[in-house]
């Protein structure tokens, strides 16, 4: 089972190293990791996606709380959170298929952010299903390059992590 964990940490040098070392030592695989400032510049939020059962999730939470820089650890289940990821994808676009790629980008509410002589670079955000469907659609045109930001997530409604 895939888990999205939100970790509030102090915004200090070396925190990312300590957390990634913890995952490495314990043999927990990180599927994606994003880090950014919160509304409080003294704090950062890490969104970590891991695969594992509830016992592994419990172990991860306990280990993270042992680190002095960790203030809060929250599991964000899919049904009670909003999850998004950003993808930049560079697709081969010649005269024959360029308009078709633009139409698919519009349908998926993507945005063309760069145009080359034989390529289009597209920005698209969404959940896993939307992004995988779009990437699959673009693969028939020829993907030259692709990069994903990693997932970010927040609780739905009024609930917050802090």
Question: What pLDDT is attached to residue 161?
Answer: 82
How would you classify the pairing of strands 70-75 and 30-37? unpaired
CB neighbourhood size of 14 (10 A): 9
Kindly state the DSSP code that residue 129 receives in the 8-state scheme.
H
Contact 131, 85 (CB under 8 A): yes
Dump pLDDT digits (tens) for 5-21. Answer: 999 999 999 999 999 99
CA 4 to chain centre: 9
Residue of 154, 110, 117, 113 whose CA lies nearest to 133: 110
Residue 100 has pLDDT above 90, yes or no: yes
Cβ burial of 150 (10 Å; 0-12, 13-18, 19+) is middle
Say whether 143 sits in a helix, a strand or coil. Answer: strand
Handedness of CA 58, 155, 149, 67 (dihedral sign): negative
The Cα angle at residue 70 between residues 6 and 2, in degrees rounded to 5: 30
Kindly state the DSSP code that residue 40 receives in the 8-state scheme.
S
Q: What is the dihedral of CA 10, 85, 48, 154, to 10 degrees?
A: 60
Instruction: Put the strands of the sheet holding 30-37 in their side by side order.
Output: 30-37, 43-51, 2-10, 70-75
Dump pLDDT digits (tens) for 51-94. Answer: 999 999 999 999 999 999 999 999 999 999 999 999 999 999 99
Report the length, in residues, of the chain: 162
Specify the pTM. 0.85
Question: What pLDDT is attached to residue 159?
Answer: 87
Q: Please identify which residue in the block is written with the tokens 């070396």.
A: 14
């Amino acid at each position: 089972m895939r888990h999205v964990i939100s970790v509030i940490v102090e915004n200090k040098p070396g925190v990312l190293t300590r957390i990634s070392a913890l995952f490495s030592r314990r043999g927990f695989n990180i599927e994606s990791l994003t880090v950014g400032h919160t509304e409080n510049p003294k704090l950062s939020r890490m969104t970590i996606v891991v695969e594992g059962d509830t016992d592994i999730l419990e172990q991860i939470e306990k280990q993270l709380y042992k680190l002095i820089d960790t203030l809060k650890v929250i599991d964000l289940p899919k049904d009670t959170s909003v999850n998004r990821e950003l993808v930049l994808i560079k697709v081969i676009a010649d005269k024959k298929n360029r308009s078709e790629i633009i139409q698919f980008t519009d349908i998926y509410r993507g945005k063309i952010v760069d145009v080359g002589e034989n390529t289009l670079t597209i920005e698209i955000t969404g959940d896993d299903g939307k992004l995988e469907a779009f990437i699959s659609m673009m693969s028939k045109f020829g993907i030259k390059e692709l990069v994903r930001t990693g997932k970010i997530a927040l609780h739905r409604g009024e609930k917050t992590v802090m």
